[in-house]
Structure 1
Amino acid sequence: MSTTFRSRITARLGRTYLARIQRHGIGSSTIKLLPEELLMLLRRDGLDPVRRVASTRAIAPVSRVSLPFGMDAWVVTGYEESKAVLGSAEGFSTDFANLAGNAGIAAEQSPGGLGFSDPPVHTRLRRILTPEFTMRRLRRLAPRIEAIVEERLDAMEAAGGPVDLVHEFALPVPSLTICELLGVPYADRNDFQQLAMDRFDLFGGTTAPFGAMSASLDYFREVVRAQRRNPGDGLLGMIVREHGDSVDDKELAGLADGVLTGGFETTASTIALGSLVLLQNEEVLDRLRTDDTMTAPFVEEVLRYLSAVQMAFPRFAREDIEIAGVVIPRGDMVLCSLSGANRDPAYVSDDGGFDPHRATPSSHLAFGHGIHRCIGAELARMELRVAYPALARRFPGMRLAVPPQELGFRKLSIVYGIESLPVYLS
């Protein structure tokens, strides 16, 4: 059998396999077909990456993973190696067309926005958004973020008894903040939350996240049309006023959808998981309540330690490219483990455990790196720097309402999280 014919057969089998996943979802039988070298990027042991990530990184920080039917991908678990991939827009593409072509998904299902585009499209769109995410522009949200946090703390205090920090605090804070930022009704927050979370549901079938994207984009197109008629003071209204028809409705809806996706679930998970870290570190909880200088380093260490976004957007090699002595062939998919990179001993000089005194303030990869680094990073920091100390000051006697072993974490997810965090507030 010739090499060309064999390649055609394996490609056809691969497409059949992916189509099967799309129809039936990633159930237990499908998971058994996926290599652990890939699944390990989406698993955790409590708050820590599974041990296999560290052992893989020690042997080969850039390693090939053989997927079913002869398809290949590359897993990157090292810090410097991940920076090299994420920082090379010339060497790697994130264009949705690559993902569509490899997974049999229609290119028309592209959500647009920054995450699935390459320069020059990415450059133009990011130039439009960047001014809206400068600290000068974001400061206008600071009083509202503080008010949102206090409103949630008031509601929790009034509820009495055990309170679920995930649903009563971690989810509403970024949801309300994004509504303020974009200028859309908070009354739609429940739909926002569901649509955002559906993006990361690997058990609903590989097309489920794209269905959520479609529903979200439909909603934002309606919002955009309303903003065209009467621009508000939020981000969408500002873009309409400053850029007019140079940004069409589809692009603007895609940008808004990207802000929702990137800023809601990730921040909510970090708030919840960071609250658990506080509950496990009473001394840090006390210091955060009384020492304002503790807030910023605590937030940066929590971002690094938790790395809620476990894996970066897939990259595809534009040409044969060498990373850490390994040649990645043109067209191959590359998956960078952000949680693995942020625990790399070559970066943190130890096992990467939680250390609020660590001197690596902002060099972590929790927000990614390069041109696709999260544009909302400073907004997320603002929310975290308000939420944690406010929570610590309001409820100094806060403690878990269930044994730690009863806490439920996501078992397989791009964005790691905890299902619920019941606490006694005093």
Structure 2
Amino acid sequence: MSGHRTRASVPRCPQHQEADRAPRPLPVERTSALEPPDEFRLLRSELPVAPLAFPDGPAGWLVTRYDDVRTALADPRLSSRRPHLNSHIRASLITPAEMAVLRPSDLLTSDPPEHTRLRRLVTGQFTARRMNQLTGRIQAIVDEHLDALAAADQPADLMKAVALPVPSLVISELLGVPFADRDQYQRLTAELLSLDRTREELLASKAEMKGYLLHLIGIRRAEPADDLISGLLKAQHTDPALSDEEIAALAQLILIAGHETTANVIGLASLLLLRPPRLWDTVRRQPELVDNVIEETLRYATVLQFGLLRVAREPLAIAGQPIQAGERVVLHLPAANRDSSRFTDPDRFDVHRANAGKHLGFGHGPHHCLGDRLARIELRTVLASMLRRFPDLRLAADPDTIPTHRQRVVHGLAALPVHTTA
């Protein structure tokens, strides 16, 4: 057996009833740490482009089928420019004018030609040379933290000992952010991704993050190094339009995406392998499966749990549903990655799945994640090293009781208690 099922059957919703087409809030309640809300199965089947009620403003649309989401991600008629990243989850707490002051447009919230210019600048820093240089350093960082995990009191928290610090160290070295500042930027990251903050708290966190990064940019201008921030500062000589505020916004996005997402994929992949039927032993005996485990985890447990928000620049249709200019559209990656029309038996975690790499976990189109190569290097190094180092690694808690971050944009585990020996 190469997978594990946890879903109970869900009755089909009645077709062609007016109530089914009334705008409803985005489904967010999970039955377990590893399962997206059951409603998405019904929506894919019955209403793949569904009216979506937003916490503020008029209703929009929710897209859940793989082909529709993938096509829409590459459609230039859908804009990434919006006032607030989480406006389909909570009412916007910050005005567009305040957002413009706190963070100028970045890769996540811009369109061509601005997005093209910024992406080219950052792509120039994710060079093969820099990635190759980091590979050996990543292995050393992983080995050091696995040593600490082995020496820790049992049970140990895999998230705290390995999953969180390893990506933080890696992204710190890539960016040129002192790892000694990790308590501050990890706190700020959690605050910026949390959905239960007040307006005042969120404004304070955004201002503190911007101030911290601008201060660091000043240090790197005076003392350049072989890091991404220094490289972007050098790029100012050929792109005078690149401001310190834009560099700070780019650094913030890379800092948050570079450690928060990878850390949570490490935790989720470990849980998927360690829970019954304990695929850990299967992959340990067949280490060539590690890369497929990574892709299947990105598909099965997609961490960007609430989807991506777009705004229609002009009228268009998605799966035959007319979308008017100005309407908001949520492209739901976790739902698309569980679409049976693309993935056979999609609710089964299958380490042998032939097309696992076709997932949309890193997005698609112009906004495809720039850091996917680095993330895969980190994930491969961590998982392969743990499989070799801890053949008897086991969970120290019922997998159904593992706590998760329920109020964060990025889905993941709050803790993962393990024993390193049998």
**TM-score normalised by the shorter chain: which range applies?**
0.7 to 0.9
Comparing 231-240 and 132-141, the one that deviates more? 132-141
Comparing 251-260 and 303-312, the one that deviates more? 303-312
Specify which of 125, 128, 148 is matched with residue 132 of structure 1: 125
- Kindly tell me: are residues 155 and 391 of structure 1, through their superposed partners in 2, closer, same or farther at Cα, counting changes over 3 Å? same
Show the counterpart of 1:23: none
Cα contact 1:170–1:269 (8 A) shared by 2 = yes
Cα contact 2:25–2:53 (8 A) shared by 1 = no
- Kindly tell me: are residues 212 and 409 of structure 1, through their superposed partners in 2, closer, same or farther at Cα, counting changes over 3 Å? same
**CA distance in structure 2 between the partners assigned to 1:132 and 1:309 by the alignment:** 24
Specify which of 91, 106, 124 is matched with residue 96 of structure 2: 106
- Kindly tell me: are residues 211 and 93 of structure 1, through their superposed partners in 2, closer, same or farther at Cα, counting changes over 3 Å? farther
Show the counterpart of 1:176: 169
**CA displacement, residues 145-185 of structure 1 (integer Å, 9 cap, x when unaligned):** 11111111011112232100111111101110110100121
Show the counterpart of 2:330: 335
Q: Write the letter of the residue equivalent to 1:105.
A: T
**CA distance in structure 2 between the partners assigned to 1:67 and 1:237 by the alignment:** 40
**CA displacement, residues 48-93 of structure 1 (integer Å, 9 cap, x when unaligned):** 11211111111111111234687202111111111122111x2111
**CA displacement, residues 236-255 of structure 1 (integer Å, 9 cap, x when unaligned):** 11222344363221111111
Aligned-partner SS, 1:322: strand
Show the counterpart of 1:389: 384
Alignment of 1:178-327 (within 5 A): 178-205=171-198, 208-209=201-202, 211-244=204-237, 246=240, 247-280=242-275, 284-327=279-322
Cα contact 2:310–2:330 (8 A) shared by 1 = yes
**CA distance in structure 2 between the partners assigned to 1:259 and 1:69 by the alignment:** 28
Q: Write the letter of the residue equivalent to 2:32.
A: D
Show the counterpart of 2:142: 149
Tell me which protein shows more helix as a share of its residues.
1
Specify which of 41, 50, 55 is matched with residue 42 of structure 2: 55
Show the counterpart of 1:22: none
Q: How far apart are 1:212 and its partner, in Å?
A: 2.9
**CA distance in structure 1 between the partners assigned to 2:174 and 2:330 by the alignment:** 31
Show the counterpart of 2:79: 93
Cα contact 1:43–1:412 (8 A) shared by 2 = no
Q: How far apart are 1:412 and its partner, in Å?
A: 4.2
- Kindly tell me: are residues 318 and 41 of structure 1, through their superposed partners in 2, closer, same or farther at Cα, counting changes over 3 Å? farther
Q: How far apart are 1:410 and its partner, in Å?
A: 2.7
Show the counterpart of 2:17: none
Q: How far apart are 1:364 and its partner, in Å?
A: 0.8
Aligned-partner SS, 2:125: helix
Matched residues, percent identical?
Answer: 38
Show the counterpart of 2:51: 64
Show the counterpart of 1:20: none
**CA distance in structure 2 between the partners assigned to 1:83 and 1:41 by the alignment:** 21
- Kindly tell me: are residues 78 and 150 of structure 1, through their superposed partners in 2, closer, same or farther at Cα, counting changes over 3 Å? same
Point out 4+ residue stretches in structure 1 off by more than 6 angstroms.
98-102
Aligned-partner SS, 1:63: strand
Cα contact 1:309–1:416 (8 A) shared by 2 = yes
Cα contact 1:41–1:53 (8 A) shared by 2 = no
Show the counterpart of 1:380: 375
Comparing 152-161 and 243-252, the one that deviates more? 243-252
Comparing 260-269 and 132-141, the one that deviates more? 132-141
Q: How far apart are 1:277 and its partner, in Å?
A: 0.8
